[in-house]
């Protein structure tokens, strides 16, 4: 089970929020509580969360007693941290996306999509054996969880660009006839009206 953290001021504004550690909004806290209601019947054998406060607080409000795993942090956006896709595109003069064009060095070095996928693979190496003993919950971030899903489905990491994930949403990965499969995706209190900008 994947739980994207609740809304923050930056996610609400469509700002790339990688390693910047900012809190949930009041709505984000409500979304986290709602996610907790959705997952109340699961029998978790392992619950992991990103160390960033927006994920840890989401886990807490969802009623999940999570272990911090530093591999679950969001994509390091480097010099694009705190900026919108619109602003980056205006500066560059073309239809930039992190998935297609990558990021630049800033206060942090930034990561390639492949580096994020390598972290996701390490998480899955830990998670897959635990799935044999019960349900697993990962509380983390939009881009990271989209890339992790691509890796889980044995797709190229850039496949994550084709799946949107809203703040406070719950998704369920499973197996269907021995094949990795999506059981439920981007489920929350509200149906999305447009793709998430963060």
At 145-196, the pLDDT tens digits run 999 999 999 999 999 999 999 999 999 999 999 999 999 999 987 666 677 7
φ/ψ of 173, rounded to 5, equals -100, 145
CB atoms within 10 A of CB 154: 9
pLDDT at 10 over 70: yes
pLDDT for res 191: 67
Q: Examine the residue annotation and report whether 5 is marked as an active-site residue of this protein.
A: yes
CB contact at 8 A, 46 and 124: no
For residue 183, give Cα distances in angstroms to 6, 56, 177: 21, 25, 12
Q: Which of 5, 16, 141, 143 is catalytic?
A: 5
Q: Distance between CA atoms of 198 and 195, rounded to whole angstroms?
A: 9
Q: What is the pLDDT of residues 92-148, one digit of tens each?
A: 999 999 999 999 999 999 999 999 999 999 999 999 999 989 999 999 999 999 999
The catalytic residue among 7, 16, 29, 74 is: 74
pTM of the full structure: 0.96
Indicate if 65 belongs to the active site: no
């Amino acid at each position: 089970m994947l739980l994207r953290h609740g809304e923050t001021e930056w996610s609400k504004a469509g700002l790339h929020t990688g390693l910047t550690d900012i809190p949930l909004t009041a709505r984000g806290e409500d979304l986290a509580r709602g996610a907790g209601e959705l997952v109340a019947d699961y029998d978790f054998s392992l619950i992991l969360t990103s160390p960033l406060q927006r994920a840890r607080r989401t886990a807490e409000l969802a009623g999940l007693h999570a272990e911090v795993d530093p591999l679950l942090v969001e994509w390091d956006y480097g010099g694009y941290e705190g900026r919108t896709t619109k602003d980056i595109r205006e500066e560059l003069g073309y239809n930039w996306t992190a998935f297609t064009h990558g990021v630049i060095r800033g206060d942090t070095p930034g990561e390639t999509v492949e580096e994020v996928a390598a972290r996701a693979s390490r998480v899955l190496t830990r998670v897959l054996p635990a799935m044999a003993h019960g349900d697993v919950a990962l509380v983390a971030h939009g881009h990271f969880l989209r890339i992790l899903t691509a890796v889980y489905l044995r797709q190229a990491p850039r496949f994550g660009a084709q799946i949107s994930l809203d703040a406070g949403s719950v998704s369920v990965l499973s197996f269907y006839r021995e094949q990795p499969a999506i059981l439920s995706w981007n489920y929350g209190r509200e149906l999305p009206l447009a793709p998430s900008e963060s």
